[in-house]
Amino acid sequence: MDDFEVLRLLEAMLRIPSPSGQEAELADFLVRRMTDWGFRAWVDAAGNAVGEVGGGPKTVVLLGHMDTVPGEVPVRYDGNRLYGRGAVDAKGPLAAFIGAAARWARRGDRPYRLVLIACVEEEAPSSRGAFFVRDLYRPDFCIVGEPSGWDGLTIGYKGSLQAVVRVERPSAHSAHGRPTAAEAACEAWLRIRAAAEAFNVGRPRIFDRLLPALTGLRSGGDGLTEWAELDVHLRLPPDLTPGSAEAWLREQVGEGCIRVRGAIPAWVGPRTTPLHRAFARAIRRAGGTPRYLLKTGTSDLNVVAPVWQCPALAYGPGDAALDHTPEEYIVVEEFWRSLRVLETVLEEVTVEG
């Protein structure tokens, strides 16, 4: 299996749309491809595509996600770039996982069990696929597929709280000068933003700050009651739990009510485990210098790592700045470099650990 065959796998994955909640076609495709490449493969009860190879007393989990945010990015090559929705987040890392695992399995000496999981709904507040497998496995090592660049290792993610803030008021004529529900909701957002700025005083590092975002707004009424809703997304630092963040948000909102759509705490892991050392050696052999990253987003690593309590990190080709953008692409050479790094890690990860 050469590099071009793995690249063709990624291209085929990009041509199958898989926004959150619509991953079934891609899951079936991956099960067929993994079966052809020597995996024992199936779709589990949550809709995740799962493949296993090898055996032995230790287990390594490679956990990626199949789903993408909405929006079509035409699949095409432009020089050394492959464009498509999910090329970076996160079909590129997932394809690299599958290719590296298949190559490792074909070498014959497979001293441990490798489980590859392509999760559903990572981009949704539910993280349904990761929560499902979290209680099924207890691996010795976990690698989550997210873009870090071929020489980057992500060792921490911020937490997240997604909520709907709703303000309701009796309907009144706009000429009377009383603030409308829409105005009250806008004022609530201004209080949230100002309170976050106060929270962040003395926190120079962005990873340690509370980052609010207004991601949607709606208003309406039935002639008797008017309402306005805000979709608020809080990115949480490690010292702010989702419960504390919800209480903080309620304090800022005042008269409005809050419905939490999803919440998960931040996670930061060590950088000195056998897994991290294996990656550092592999990156250096490939001509790079390891970079250790703290991300302001969240991933399925936040879901599984606190429960599995094993050496864990996120790794994968791609520039995370291109996540969710209309110009999402992966550099082909970087994709191939990540393949080589992953192959080396899979060869060595259990030797030291």
The residues annotated as belonging to the active site are 67, 122
Where do we find the tokens 């056998």? 274
Give the single-character DSSP code of 169: E
DSSP characters over 222-265: -SSEEEEEEEEEEEEPTTS-HHHHHHHHHHHHTTSEEEEEEEE-
| SS3 category, 346 | helix
> Tokens standing for 159?
């937490």
> Tokens standing for 148?
């870090």
Angstrom distance (rounded) from CA 90 to CA 214: 24
Angstrom distance (rounded) from CA 28 to CA 94: 15
Angstrom distance (rounded) from CA 142 to CA 138: 10
Output phi, psi for 312, to 5 deg.
Answer: -150, 150
Q: At what angle do helices 274-285 and 332-352 cross, to 10 degrees?
A: 140
Give the single-character DSSP code of 68: B
Angstrom distance (rounded) from CA 167 to CA 192: 14
Please work out, in degrees rounded to the nearest 5, the angle formed at the alpha carbon of residue 123 by the alpha carbons of 120 and 124: 85
> Tokens standing for 263?
């919440």
| SS3 category, 311 | coil
> Tokens standing for 290?
């390891």
